Amino acid sequence: MPRSANFWRIALPAIAVVVFLVGWSVYVRTAEVSAFVLPPPEAIAVALGHLILDPNLWYHARITVTEAVSGFVIAVTLGTVLGFLMARFPPVEWAAKPFIVLLQLVPKIALAPLFILWFGFGLESKIVIAAALAFFPVFSNALIAFKSVDPGDSDVMTMLQANAAQRFVMLELPNALPVVLTGMEVSVVMSMIGAIVGEFIGGSEGLGYLAVKYLQELSVPNLFAVVVVLTLVGLCLYLLIGRLRAWLAPWHASSTGSH
């Protein structure tokens, strides 16, 4: 790539972000928007600076991450195993189909209050909500991925007299991994949403709870700062999946692409 193209690739997004922030600040001041509605970015930055230095924030962040990651791990495990079983053993799919379709149609968020009722106000209910939201992206990708073994590749294993376990380890699993990982990328975001929603409606800990608390105190810059922290946490989890992909599926185009 020519040097100037490289330069603009870094400079253009930076300029765009600066223009956006300056525009925001100028708009809030000139249009006299109430700081309760939309604080200027510098006020958010100050609030963020205070928040980050406050150990209390990290306590709440740890709670939310624990809930989201636990829910995510449960969803990935269940989704992958069930996806594999349904792809491999059609009767399992026939039996599970009505439940899957129904559960897929239920807006999972609407079940959140129910989960609070069943699992209490502690971490457990948030983990269940996070898992419920994160399950389907992994599951449906795993189902397709395990079904889409190329018959020609399967013939290779047949000629080599491979048994079922060898087929799974050497063909079905690596073949499915890139698609399952794509599902996981969606799921990790969903599990964050699940954990936060759980904290909104019934919690005394976590970043979702913190956001509600700041709203009640009408501390809008702090509210925005929490959103920024949540975004950063989500970004870290997303990047972690990218690392996982580079490690587990380095051969696949998705590992060398734009991530």
Residue whose tokens read 């306590």: 59
CB of 253 to other proteins, least distance (A): 9
Concatenate the DSSP letters of all residues of 66-118 into one string: HHHHHHHHHHHHHHHHHHHHHHH-HHHHHHHHHHHHHHHHS-GGGGHHHHHHH
**Site stretch for other proteins (CB under 8 A), options 95-103, 158-166, 193-201, 233-241:** 158-166
For residue 159, state whether it binds other proteins (rule: CB under 8 A).
yes
Q: Which token pair is 83?
A: 């996806």
Between 34 and 161, name the residue whose CB sits nearer to other proteins: 161
Contact call for residues 243 and 100 (beta carbons, < 8 A): no
The 102-141 site mask, x for binding other proteins (CB under 8 A), equals ----------------------------------------
Q: Strand, coil or helix: what is 137? A: helix
Concatenate the DSSP letters of all residues of 2-17 into one string: -HHHHHHHHHHHHHHH
The angle formed by the CA atoms of residues 252, 253 and 258, to the nearest 5 degrees, is: 130
N residues, the chain: 259
The angle formed by the CA atoms of residues 225, 226 and 228, to the nearest 5 degrees, is: 65
For residue 247, state whether it binds other proteins (rule: CB under 8 A).
no
Between 149 and 228, name the residue whose CB sits nearer to other proteins: 149
The 175-204 site mask, x for binding other proteins (CB under 8 A), equals x-x---------------------------
Between 175 and 219, name the residue whose CB sits nearer to other proteins: 175
Query: Left (φ > 0), alpha (ψ -120 to 50) or beta: where does 123 sit?
Result: alpha
**Site stretch for other proteins (CB under 8 A), options 54-62, 71-79, 111-119, 248-256:** 248-256
For residue 165, state whether it binds other proteins (rule: CB under 8 A).
no
For residue 246, state whether it binds other proteins (rule: CB under 8 A).
no
**Site stretch for other proteins (CB under 8 A), options 101-109, 155-163, 212-220, 230-238:** 155-163
Between 161 and 258, name the residue whose CB sits nearer to other proteins: 161
Residues that bind other proteins (CB under 8 A): 152-153, 155-156, 158-162, 166, 170-171, 174-175, 177, 249, 251-252
